[in-house]
Structure 1
Amino acid sequence: MSPAFPRRGAFPWALGAAVALLLATACADGDDEPAPTSPRPTASPTSPSPTATGAAVITMEGFEFSPANPQVRPGEKITVVNKDSEAHTVTATEGDAFDTGSIDGGKSGTFTAPSEAGEYAFVCTFHPNMTGTLVVR
């Protein structure tokens, strides 16, 4: 007498049908509305526009400022990110409009844009070939 098993090949088919049925009912929620989609992530800012937090960012990398001519609002807080191994500064070339002081490699700092609109040239005091202009609008 042989055991009472389904014929050969029937078990995998039956298992597949059961899984398909479970998936179909698990995915059906009775709502004909399409599922909401999440917003696509945006790239991190590399332009002079403010970040989502409202603060502008200047990056120091490869002994250059990026962006070299950031545009900010009067009194806006600006984050400075040093991606080089050497220390850098962001220092106004005329007067004392702003100066981050030394920012070590791999570190960040902040400063506040002048309250008066205008263009403010800046330099890294350690590396005078690193220059830019802060545009306050």
Structure 2
Amino acid sequence: MKIGELSRQVGVPVETIRYYEKIGLMAEPARSDSGYRDYQHVHLERLRFIRRCRSLDMAQDEIRELLRLADQSDADCGEVDELLARHLSHVRERLRELANLEQTLEQLQQACSQNRTVSECGILGGLSSDPPPESSPGKHNHIPGTHGTR
């Protein structure tokens, strides 16, 4: 099948499929005589696997490791369990961070009162002050899917 059909079947943009090939998550398919990529069922299954992992917010390195393990049918399943445990731990940490973020935003919002000018705005004043130490930039990564795996 051509890349457009693969894209439609899995619901992944063509550019994403090409990107996954470029970074090695998917093997590049053979090309037809006319030069088109010729995807097989194995590509479809791999792309579905990657898409499902991404829907669980797994990072590329985590997906790469799971694919490596999946390609070794006799490998110890404990490694898969360990990877998932690390990912779950990371998700739980992010949930704690998000709860703290929610609390901070609520406090900022409470700093706002009616009948004030922008120069008197408690929210803008709060955003201009230094963040608490636990919110320091660089401590945590809030970009989905970019966290480390170890």
- What is the TM-score of this pair, normalised by structure 2? 0.18
- What is the TM-score of this pair, normalised by structure 1? 0.20
Decide which structure has greater strand share: 1
Decide which structure has greater helix share: 2
